[in-house]
Homo-oligomer: A and B are copies of this chain.
Amino acid sequence: MMEGIGFIAAALTSTAFFPQAIKVIKSRQVVDISLAMYVTFVIGLISWIIYGFARHLLSIFICNIITLIPASIILIIKIRAILNAKRMSSEKFMNHP
């Protein structure tokens, strides 16, 4: 019974980021997405993966690799959007000397 709830918990928290990644891939809109959240979260996931690997904790290793896929996609799209916005604002500035 309790192992079932643990399994459901792991499945839900590991896969939750996929709908957010799909939404962001489709819309390319990330204004409301927090850069600080995804930087912190991705570093946290990588730390969990290192920990799971070193301690031979297969479930921690695999669950965090699954979550890392959508989380890093969201982070990359967010960073690109910030860089694009900066580039566009500097081009705008150059066009208006």
User: Which B residues are CB-close (under 8 A) to A12?
Assistant: 40-41, 43-44, 47
Q: How many residues on the A side are at the interface (Cβ–Cβ under 8 A)?
A: 39
Chain A 24-63 near chain B by CB (<8 Å), digits 1 or 0: 1001011111101110110111011011001100000000
Question: What is the interface of chain A mostly: helix, strand, loop, or mixed?
Answer: helix
Query: How often does this chain occur in the complex, in copies?
Result: 2
Does A15 reach chain B (CB closer than 8 Å)?
Answer: yes
Min CB distance, A19 to chain B, in Å?
4
- A27–B32 contact, CB under 8 A? yes
8 additional contacts, CB 8 Å, given A13-B44, A31-B31?
A: A5-B47, A9-B44, A13-B48, A15-B40, A20-B36, A20-B37, A29-B32, A33-B33
